Structure 1
């Protein structure tokens, strides 16, 4: 056990390597520096060569080399964040497929990147996390503050211009029944307040429209079945 500990103690730190390189550059012989420091001859020659080539003296991380260069990988993370902001968050499969395309374009080599690569990628970028995306229709997604203010002002102007009474103002609302969209698990920036995905279509099966005036007057509800006609007998058992 003692011999093992002594071996690990002889491993030079990056600070000791830099100091040894500086001593050689200051005029000491390489042999003298090796004898009086924990830096081995091979390590000293290696980092002296790096210094002469104007390279940074640093130890490279151990482990498998990332398939994507660091700069490209950072751009890849920015792409994931941009897709999230645009309402088109990407899944793990999307990320792996896009990474394979980038590797092929960058190095000209076709490389299959699977779940092992994704796990290492997510460990290097802790700012990413798995989230459940909320589905939003295009109509809801396109509503903004300016549009709401404009709508309110026009509604107020119309009520004043026509001298509307409570019986003239109706609140119309609709409730639709549709097939349930399956939850979509996506990759998003950790800590995001909301993660949403735009729905490509809204497959309605039934829509019910109700209208009630401000004075309490209401009209019978409307049942809307897309592409179908509905006989009035369906309302026979409804409360009057």
Structure 2
């Protein structure tokens, strides 16, 4: 009786010791960590791709809006009068200053020319429009700096590869741009000859990093200067 009882205890003891060994547990934990790392990497990659896609979509909308905005201003470029022959005061690769006939809603008269500047503010990451209203009852007008107002029309890294934003031509059908100086700006002698402008705009979102820029191009005929 005693020996049978001891045998039963031994059998229970053997069954009770059955389970996972330490080595098996370590292997299982290692495999699990690999699987979880893969899932985490995939999740992060997906989130980054979605963020970049959303940022690029926003940049594309900004490019279209800014390009349309600049086109409307450039199309109504006019000489300011007072003995000034051309509409352009300066015409550089990443900035331009000219005079435009901006008609206010409901107005029927001929407006005084507004001084318009478009330039890239690299520090602020912004494509800026500066507008200065004319002062005076007639030509010659003045454009005091106290009336200058600035607006950011596109936010991000503007033309990040350093490409030209503006290219200027003497006629609408010309394929060769006007001559420029060492800085890439049209010379003062040729400013009155500008009749067509090409605008190449690219905007890269600053966040998330690595988002490709959105870009668009248009070429305008300045009918008021023909």
TM-score relative to the length of structure 1: 0.21
Higher relative contact order (CA 8 A, sep 6+): 2
Which structure dedicates a bigger proportion of its chain to strand? 2
Which structure dedicates a bigger proportion of its chain to helix? 1
